[in-house]
Amino acid sequence: MRNLAFGALLAATTAVAPLTAVAQTEIQFWHAFTGRLAELLDAQVAAFNAGQSDYKVTATPKGNYSEALNAGIAAFRAGEQPQILQVFEVGTATMMGAKGAIKPVYEVMEQSGLPFDPKAYLAAVTGYYTTAEGQMLSLPYNSSTQVLYVNRDALTGAGIDPDTDLSTWQNVDAVLGQLKEAGHACPYTTSWQSWVHLESFSAYHNVPFATQANGFGGLDAELVFNGPLQVQHIAKLGEWARDGKFIYAGRRNEAGANFRAGTCALFTESSAGYAGVKAEAQFDFQIRPLPYWDGVEGAPQNTIIGGASLWVMAGHDAEEYKGVAAFMNFLSSPEVQAQWHQDTGYLPITYAAGEVTRAAGFYEANPGTDIAVIQMTTKEPTENSKGLRLGSFDQIRAIIDEELEAVWSGDKDAQAALDSAVARGNQLLRRFEQASN
Amino acid sequence: MEKRVTFRGWFLPLCLIAPQIVISAVFFFFPAGQAVWQSLFIPDPFGLSSQFVGLGNFKYLLGDPYYRASFVTTAIFSTLVTLASMIPALFLAVLADRLVKSAGVYRTLLIWPYAVAPAVAGVLWMFMFNTRVGVVAWYLGQLGYDWNHVLDGTEAMGLVVVASSWGRISYNFLFFFAALQAVPRSIIEAAAIDGARFWRRFFTIVLPLLSPTTFFLLVVNIVYAFFETFGVIHTITAGGPQQATTILVYKVFSDGFVGQDLGSSAAQSVILLGVVGLLTVLQFKYIEKRVHY
């Protein structure tokens, strides 16, 4: 009886459907943005919803990156997963390992029949999210890379030419010495120490961070960032910390506030920090490429990205996936991408978006905003500079943070700290490998 | 001759305790049982597959020197939190108990911090001691002390202890205050007539009479320090610098929700359950004997 009633109801709705407006397909998009970035994201979603009537994307903030990933995982376990989940770059290996939980982006695009050319995307960006066979697993959304922010007034104040060459760490070393002599309280600071000084540092100097092509080759990768070059760099930073030339502010981007307030002279941070610095800095600032050690073969290679990509979760029907494809197509369009790039300082994910931005004269009006793009795209990425694909990497970063703190406080020397970080990180990699088998 | 109320048959007593049993089973025994079960596996984060490893997770944990170090950190932290929240509370309660005028106002003000959620308290303290904008850090700097809990483990520990104890003082105050009110005036007056001064009366009469309350608060505060201080640590130090403030429950969180290593996280919960259970048993066995009801 109930079946009959249900059938009748179904028949009735099917019959009535063409008469009323076609029901929109709902697409859930869970993200990890807050503040200004969330507003910009909501604006993109609103523009997409207004531009067509078949699909309705609903964006929901789910806390910070770690929390959003956990929300996605918990939802999947409960069978309530969204269609699109924003996952930060260090969660890539976790998502890739979850074969039954995700639907690769290339598959979604293929089945939708919408035009999709993986070659249109910046290789240095998509490389992070692409299989060894060149299949794109997730859509890069917000990607940034490390650059050097310079407080020009601080340099002038210390009697240093603000246009002095800061492209190498050797030159930075000399300038930090001069700043210190001039009595500057905070010559240099950094955010995201592991990302800047080990992950990207290794790529930029074309040395491996982990075996198996930084984990792209397989789950049995082992960390190797305790090589002589990395040790030498961390030892130098430790020396600067001891001499009061490098002021450590915290594990994430706490140092940003110090730079924006004018306390610190030099600052390494994500290129996406541009909007914040521009809004708050009461001094003349400039963006420079990330410094490298002169004399290292192959340096500067390219830096690696950070940020997040959009993953499509498994377990939804074809119509919904078509909507997801349409939304991703919209996000990748040159105009939307160019706007996003200019508003946020994130890299444009397609070559076309970069061209649109350049043609609009944005780079001339905002000098330094193209440095991140140039830094990423001048050289073809190598095995060491394509990115990282390591399990439990969020936690490995926490271990690296702990060990680096021991160097900054003088409790350990660089070699001992990095050896210990490698040993502890490898333990987590082995557990991840075991869980994934 | 002891007086006993007896029920005939089993039905009524069972009915009366059934709600409590059901609640305990649903909210405690079932999840605890699941944690024990999960601790025997290494699952992948999405729950797509899972491997039985027996006691492998426990072996892995206990073989990890950083995990073992976390026990010491937890012991130091909980001892300090318990002391720092109980002693001032007792002191304030004694003072408030002697007040004649406007006692109500003081009482209310002293209870107030208890209404602040741990995470909010954490943020408050974090801002006060922030190395760049913190008011307290700035004054310390003026006095020539370079406050830097971001790199100094001892300072970080001090800060999370104070932040965790602060709101808790109110809670303890409430209980001590109530207990003080219940101390019979006649005994104190008799002692006073015998010539005992205030502190003498306090240590020989009042403190022993407070022992049931003190014992209760000791148990409750240790449990608090073990489990509920997570919010404070998460907001102020995130377990750092190095591992100076990584207490056991914070490690359960970071392995489970940052590392997505649910097997290890479950095993840690089981260990934690064992530790707290053991502590409570010990307290009841040895300390309770000295409590006079």
Structure confidence at residue A275 as a pLDDT band (50, 70, 90):
confident
Distance from CA of B112 to the nearest CA of A (A): 29
Per-chain mean pLDDT for chain A? 91
Q: Convert the pLDDT of each residue in A188-242 to its tens digit.
A: 999 999 999 999 999 999 999 999 999 999 999 999 999 999 999 999 999 999 9
- Rounded CA-CA distance A127/A205 in Å is 18
Contact A398 B45 (CB under 8 A): no
pLDDT band at B129 (very low <50, low <70, confident <90, very high): very high
Max Cα distance, chain B (Å): 76
pTM of the full structure: 0.89
CB-based contact A76 B47, cutoff 8 Å? yes
Give tens-digit pLDDT for A146-179.
999 999 999 999 999 999 999 999 999 999 999 9
Alpha helices in B40-117 (DSSP H): 56-62, 65-98, 103-111
pLDDT at position A332 over 90: yes
With 0-12 CB in 10 A as exposed, 13-18 as middle and 19+ as buried, what is A235?
middle
Q: CA B59 from chain center: how many Å?
A: 28
> Does B132 contact A at CB distance below 8 Å?
yes
Q: Span B64-288: which CATH code?
A: 1.10.3720.10
Q: Enter the ipTM.
A: 0.86
**Region of residue A267 (left: phi > 0; alpha: psi -120 to 50; beta: else):** beta
Which band of pLDDT confidence, cut at 50, 70 and 90, is reported for residue B143?
very high
Let me know if A4 is exposed, middle or buried by CB neighbors in 10 A (0-12, 13-18, 19+): exposed
Spatial distance between the Cα atoms of B228 and B249, rounded to a whole number of angstroms: 9
- Those of residues 321-340 in A touching chain B at CB distance below 8 A are none
Mean pLDDT over A343-353 rounds to: 91
Q: Residue A43's pLDDT is what?
A: 95
User: Looking at the partner chain, which of B45, B132, B241 has a beta carbon nearest the beta carbon of A73?
Assistant: B45
Tell me whether A406 touches chain B (CB under 8 Å).
yes
Nearest to A395 among B64, B132, B254 (CB): B254
Q: Give A236 or B290, the one with higher predicted confidence.
A: A236
Q: What is the mean pLDDT of residues B225-232?
A: 91
| A306-313/B41-43 β-pairing | unpaired
Give me the pLDDT at residue A17, please.
45
CB pairs under 8 A between A and B: 87
Residue ranges per domain, chain B?
64-288
Given the structure tokens 């259970």, which residue do they identify? B277
Q: pLDDT band for position A22 (50/70/90)?
A: low
Q: What is the mean pLDDT of residues B95-100?
A: 84
Helical axes A318-332 vs A35-51, angle rounded to 10°: 110
For residues B13-26, give the mean pLDDT. Answer: 93
Mean pLDDT of A261-275: 93
For residue B102, what pLDDT band results from cuts at 50, 70 and 90? Answer: confident
Report chain A residues whose CB lies below 8 A from the CB of B42: 431, 434-435
Helix or strand (DSSP H, E) at A186: strand A186-190
In terms of Cα–Cα distance, which of B293, B259, B283, B285 is closest to B78?
Answer: B283
Q: Is pLDDT at A4 greater than 90 in this prediction?
A: no
Q: How far is A185 from chain B (nearest CA, A)?
A: 12
Instruction: Report the sign of the C-alpha dihedral through residues B234, B239, B244, B247, in that order.
Output: positive
Burial group, residue A22, by CB count within 10 angstroms (0-12, 13-18, 19+)? exposed
Q: What percent of chain A has pLDDT over 90?
A: 78
> Which of B132, B159, B235, B251 to mutate against chain A (most A CBs within 10 Å)?
B132
The band of B3, judged by pLDDT with boundaries at 50, 70 and 90, is low
pLDDT number for residue B2: 57
At residue B125, does pLDDT exceed 70? Answer: yes
> Residue B257 corresponds to which amino acid?
F
Predicted confidence (pLDDT) per residue in B54-94, tens digit: 999 999 999 999 999 999 999 999 999 999 999 999 999 99
In chain A, % of residues over pLDDT 70: 95
Q: What is the pLDDT of residue A161?
A: 96
Query: Which position has the higher pLDDT, A394 or A265?
Result: A265
Look at residue B1 and tell me whether its pLDDT is greater than 70: no
Q: What is the arithmetic mean of pLDDT over A40-50?
A: 96
Percent pLDDT > 90 in chain B is 65
Q: What was the pLDDT predicted at A2?
A: 47
Q: Work out the minimum CA distance from B220 to partner chain A, whole angstroms.
A: 30
Contacts B44 to A, Cβ<8 Å: 97-98, 435-436
Q: Which of A77, A99, A251 sits opposite B240 (nearest CB)?
A: A251
Structure tokens at A38: 């969330």
Q: What is the chain A residue with the closest CA to B41?
A: A435
- Stretch A21-32: mean pLDDT, rounded? 86
For helices B153-181 and B65-98, angle between their N-to-C axes, nearest 10 degrees: 40
Q: In A, which residues are within 8 Å of B243 by CB distance?
A: 402
Q: Does the pLDDT of residue B211 top 60, yes or no? A: yes
